[in-house]
Chains A and B, each alone.
Chain A
Amino acid sequence: MSYFLTQVLNGLSYGLVLSLIAAGFAIVFTSTGVLNFAHGSIVLLGAYLVAVLHPTIGFWPAMLVALFGAALVGVLINALLVRNLADPTPGAAAILMLGVDIVLLTELTRRIGNQVLPVGAPWGASVVRFGEIALPTGRVVAAGVTVVAFAALWYLFSRTDLGVGMRAAAADGPTASLMGIRLSRTAATGWALAGVLAAVAGVFLTSFPSPGVAPTIALSAFAAIPAWVLGGFDSVPGAVVGGLLIGLTSALVTGYEGDLEHVLGAGFGEVAPYVVMIVVLLVRPSGLMGSKEAVRV
């Protein structure tokens, strides 16, 4: 039983980090309609900034710089590239973001080299024990921070003018614009929020039980894509549920691989998130909590 609980907690704690990344995908999509394939590189950028700055200015100030830096890069991508697309369709924007991803990732890979850079998190490799179950302190902190971040997002979207404006802009941009909502401002806020979430996720993704920042982290961030898709492209709560579901599925399938191997084959833990995503989409084509597309018949 404690083994099952260990795997459940492994899965949920990893799933919360995935949901931070998935929420970033969802917020950019709702605020500007862009499938942000450069999000993985922004996750890596956030972690990289903490890794290179923490030895000189300390972990927490480095974290602040990283949050600001990742948000700024997001805002600049939107202001300089996305808004100036000659053909502002989702397809063109997605291809643009693939290009941005290649540029960012190549430069960060060049800077990181073949090193694994520690982020210097104060919790180090310590663990918190619940009876027989040991969970890395970093993951417990991640869980707390994630809950606070999502509470703040909920407050922003439901209780502030800016958040309501963002929702209005997402629901119907032209009408929102006619009502006096500045679309450029809601879009910039969306990109900045996604950058902040990416940097936070980057630090948790590269602190224990991961050893540090390596270029593969940008690819690990793509593990959040099934979470984003199955939650519904445009739903932050969906991203949270999706992240938890994907984390849990991966951990349990990996944990019980020995028993499942005869049925599902080796390495199914890597495939399971995509299987869950496909099954969910077959039942609910708009994802778990995504808005259904209205079609005039």
Chain B
Amino acid sequence: MKHLPRTCALTAAAVTMLSLAACSTTDPDASGGSGGGAEGDVTTGSGVTDSEITVGMLTDLSGPFAAGAAVQVTQTNAYWDQVNADGGVCDRDVVVDVQDHGYDPQRAVTLYRSMAPDVIALQQVLGGPTSAAVLPLAEQDDVYVGGVGWTGSALQYENNQLPGASYAIEAANAVDYLVDELGVPEGGSIGVVYFAGDYGGDALAGAEHAAEERGVEIVAQEITSQTTDLSAQASALVQADVAGVVLAAAPTQLASLAGVLATQGADVPIVGMNPTFNPSLLGSPVADALLANAYSITSVAPYASDAPGVQAANELYASVAPDGDLGWEVPLAYVQGELLRQALEGACESGELTPEGVVAALQESSSVDTDGLLPDGLDYSQAGQSPTTTVYVSKVDADAEAGLALLEEFSGPSAESFSYGG
């Protein structure tokens, strides 16, 4: 019996070695190999055969974000089908391995471990806690990860590609826009209502930086996603006489805040970050308050943009899901595919169609254009910083498709002077 622990330890060590070997992203058979055919001497790695490139997608098909995630999966599959029909990438078809983590970080890690040897890159890891669990592992393995949202904390990973401006940049722009375009005077107050955690914290940091630059006061109110009645917060903002509000929360909170502010006679603009608007709010009793005062700042162009990229994304989605839900997920899923396609093309051109080659192509891309889906000239060569300072400002509008009418692309002075760690 005395030997049992040692036997166990040896077995455990052997299993660990085997699993580590299994987790290696470099396929030993492929590391020195080269794909044949027209692409000549391209080195290939995990997830790449002579005819196919496999990309992964870790999403939430059974948890709280299942509905929006389903839209993104539909659109992603349609996008790659279209790319394949046009000749594929590096003379290969791209196939997507979609797995459901159910918004559970542990499951996301397990799925990542099992998926990593067979994919060249992860187009998306949906969700804050899930992507926070996967990103460091993927960075160690040198695997590209896209579509993890817009929190600044994800920028520290050099293998991550943020689809547009981070939340701090969005919030700094929100303050700039409130001051420059929506009449908040110097010395005035701006309310910031934000979710506790990565998302809200990043937005608050951007807003505080901008407030200092623009000479306005911040009145901060921290909430959680369970806070669906914002009466107390709205009353406090009215009492502080705010001239505008920046909201880093979700659609329920936007509607509650707009409704209560309106009943208290506070006719002030509310600028929400990316995920705060949902077209179904226009059927709620507070639709009038939203139409009067709600704005949205997004990193991705809204559904109603007439940019060629957005139109292409919308047409593609309409062709595969004529009755599907409309919203910002449609252009977002398309542009995530587009960003990954460009990184894969870059890897192919450099002759390294491997996970490491895709990450290297990402890090070398200093001026990425996406036909108006994201602001032009995205710079991914500056590690740790937002790839752009430009965002899209929209106004809630009942006549616009998906309820948001694009007003302008905007890059304010505070967003331009903001730097992470600076």
Contact = CB atoms under 8 A, between A and B. Distances in A.
Contact of A254 (B68, B236, B285): B236
Interface in A211-268: 211-212, 214-217, 219-220, 222-223, 250-251, 254-258, 266-267
Contacts of A216: 225-226, 228, 250, 252
Interface stretch (B11-19, B215-223, B334-342): B215-223
Contacts of B223: 267, 269-270
A117 B232 contact: no
Contacts of A109: 63-64, 66
A106 B62 contact: yes
B406 interface: no
A210 B235 contact: no
A205 B231 contact: no
Contacts of B222: 266-267, 269-270
Given A212-B284, A216-B226, A116 B251 contact: yes
Contacts of B281: 116, 211
B67 A114 contact: yes
B240 interface: yes
Nearest to B235: A6
Interface string B225-244: 11111111111100110000
Contacts of A219: 225-226
Given A136-B263, A216-B252, A219-B225, A124 B232 contact: no
A14 B240 CA distance: 22
A59 to B, nearest CB: 12
B232 A217 contact: no
A209 interface: yes
Given A208-B259, A257-B221, A214 B252 contact: yes
Given A110-B66, A127-B263, A209-B260, A258 B240 contact: yes
B188 to A, nearest CB: 16
A7 B251 CA distance: 24
Interface in B273-295: 278, 280-281, 283-286, 288-289
Interface string A6-23: 110011001000000000
A6 B239 CA distance: 10
A116 B285 contact: no
B256 A210 contact: yes
A112 B205 CA distance: 33
A212 to B, nearest CB: 5
Given A11-B232, A210-B256, A211-B256, A125 B286 contact: yes
B280 A116 contact: yes
B262 to A, nearest CB: 8
Interface in B78-118: none
A81 interface: no
A130 interface: no
B227 A270 contact: yes
Nearest to B286: A125
A174 interface: no
A134 B263 contact: yes
Contacts of B278: 114-116
Interface string A114-137: 111110010011010000001010
A124 to B, nearest CB: 4
Contact of A217 (B228, B251, B265, B288): B228
Given A109-B64, A109-B66, A127-B263, A118 B285 contact: yes
**A: interface residue count bin:** 35 or more
B264 interface: yes
Interface residues of B, number: 50
B327 interface: yes
Nearest to A55: B283
B284 A211 contact: yes
A112 B327 CA distance: 16
A61 interface: no
A112 B68 CA distance: 11
A115 B280 contact: yes
Contacts of B239: 3, 255
B224 interface: yes
A91 interface: no
B268 to A, nearest CB: 16
Nearest to A111: B67
A113 interface: yes
A251 B232 contact: yes
B317 to A, nearest CB: 15
Contacts of A220: 226-228
B263 A258 contact: no
A211 B255 contact: yes
A212 B65 CA distance: 17
A136 B255 CA distance: 14
Contacts of A115: 67, 278, 280, 325
A251 B230 CA distance: 10
A282 B235 CA distance: 32
B307 interface: no
Contacts of A14: 229, 231-232
Give me the 10 closest cross-chain CB pairs, A-B, nearest first. A267-B222, A211-B255, A113-B67, A125-B285, A114-B67, A254-B232, A211-B284, A124-B285, A251-B232, A115-B280
18 contacts: A7-B235, A10-B235, A14-B231, A106-B62, A114-B327, A115-B278, A116-B278, A125-B285, A134-B265, A205-B228, A210-B228, A211-B255, A211-B256, A211-B259, A212-B252, A216-B252, A219-B226, A254-B233
Given A114-B278, A116-B284, A219-B226, 13 more contacts: A7-B232, A106-B62, A113-B67, A115-B67, A125-B286, A134-B265, A136-B263, A209-B229, A211-B281, A211-B286, A219-B225, A251-B232, A254-B221
Interface of A: 3, 6-7, 10-11, 14, 106, 109-110, 112-118, 121, 124-125, 127, 134, 136, 205-212, 214-217, 219-220, 222-223, 250-251, 254-258, 266-267, 269-270
Interface of B: 62-68, 196, 219-236, 239-240, 250-252, 255-256, 259-260, 262-265, 278, 280-281, 283-286, 288-289, 325, 327
